[in-house]
Amino acid sequence: MAIAMPAALPVVMSATCILARERLGKDRAYLASFGVYWTACASLSFALLGRKGIQRLFRDAKPRFGRPAILGVALLLWPPTGAIATRLIPELRAATPAEVMTITGVAVVNGLVEEVFWRGVYITLWPADPGLGWVWPALGFGAWHVAPQAIHRSSMGLGAYVASATALGLSWGWVAWRTGSLRWVTLSHMLTDGSGLRNAAFFLPP
């Protein structure tokens, strides 16, 4: 099941997003599709790892950032640093309190659920295999980002958006695989997602 999911989940979610857009319209379809996605990731993670397995993923591992540590730190810092510089700072002045609160909540849920599934499941099942423990789920993580583009297209364009998501998956995945922990990876993910204040509009009523 775990080996199949990086290929199957993007396909299933693409179909879900298209169906939701046609049945619900763009405004409600985006939130509904993410609800399905978060539920799927959480359910699959729990089925494959169990509660204790998920809890173990957040222990403070040694070495904390993998070896070489400077590479791990760089891989953790570039996503939120870039997002804060290009998204949070330019968008903050125009953001409403509702948008800030919404994107904060989305970032916490999305960062936690995605890290447990896309990183946690694979580093647990294949801790010594870089192909299955790191690269394969990172490719699936990038491919999943095609799905929501059926509802709201990124200003980056589809190819650049998916490539960027894949780079994030490879960066966070390397640290998670090398350390066996999601503690710092999840924080980096949450900070990155929380910087996209304009994305809050997709989760708020029109």
Cβ-contact 150, 14 below 8 angstroms: yes
Question: Tell me: the pLDDT tens digits for 30-89?
Answer: 999 999 999 999 999 999 999 999 999 999 988 899 999 999 999 999 999 999 999 999
Q: What is the largest CA-CA distance in the chain?
A: 49
Cβ-contact 151, 30 below 8 angstroms: yes
Q: What is the pLDDT of residue 155?
A: 85
Domain that holds residue 158: 5-203
What one-character DSSP code corresponds to residue 180? S
Number of domains in the chain: 1
pTM attached to this predicted model: 0.96
Cβ-contact 137, 173 below 8 angstroms: yes
> What percent of the chain clears pLDDT 90, i.e. is strictly above it?
93
